[in-house]
Amino acid sequence: MSHGAGVIRTGVSSGGPAAPPSVTVASSSAGSDAELMDGGYFRSCAGMLKVAQMISLLIGFISVNNSSWTDYSAYSFFQIVTLCDLVMILFFYIMHIFRVYRKLTCVSWPLAEFLHYLIGTILLLIGSIVAAAKSYNITGLVAGATFGFLATILCVISMWSSYKVSCITQSTSKYR
């Protein structure tokens, strides 16, 4: 979401007549904006963290879904929370890969992602605690609750890095 530094050419040099403005500088910065996908986001820390969250949520959902359970309300809540979090994380992942945030500037994307992580993490923590308490030592339910806790920890890490990047960086750059 940062803009690259551009070179400003005045056309006046001390060594001779004015040269025409360079076209290569403008085309290289426009070429990077015109790419469809951000290949660097796949390998970035935030991108890999989102993939780890999606995998742990999917494993937690599948583990609970394929187990025999008796408390319908506790595990249906866990399944709904894991699927909703999975879909929202996938949405933000696709948004970053295809650089949608550059086209839809009317939305504060860092704030939207931070609020998603805040609400989703709280609901996922509640669902994981209830799922662990009602597991009755059934291995699939214990595994689902364990992966729910793992996803909760990964969401807290992602929320902290989102807060650290968007809020702390802005507050320190204000005084420079």
Mean local confidence (pLDDT), 15-43: 58
Statement: the pTM of the whole predicted model exceeds 0.85? no
Residue 171: is its pLDDT beyond 70?
A: no
Kindly compute the dihedral angle of the four CA atoms of residues 138, 139, 145, 149, in this order, to the nearest 10 degrees. Answer: 140
User: Of how many residues is the chain composed?
Assistant: 176
> What is the residue extent of each domain of the chain?
47-173
Residue 86: is its pLDDT beyond 60?
A: yes
pLDDT value of position 87: 97
Tens-digit pLDDT profile for residues 47-70: 999 999 999 999 999 999 999 877
Helix, strand, coil % over all residues of the chain, rounded to 5: 75, 0, 25
Tokens of 119: 């609400």
pLDDT value of position 119: 96
Mean local confidence (pLDDT), 26-36: 51
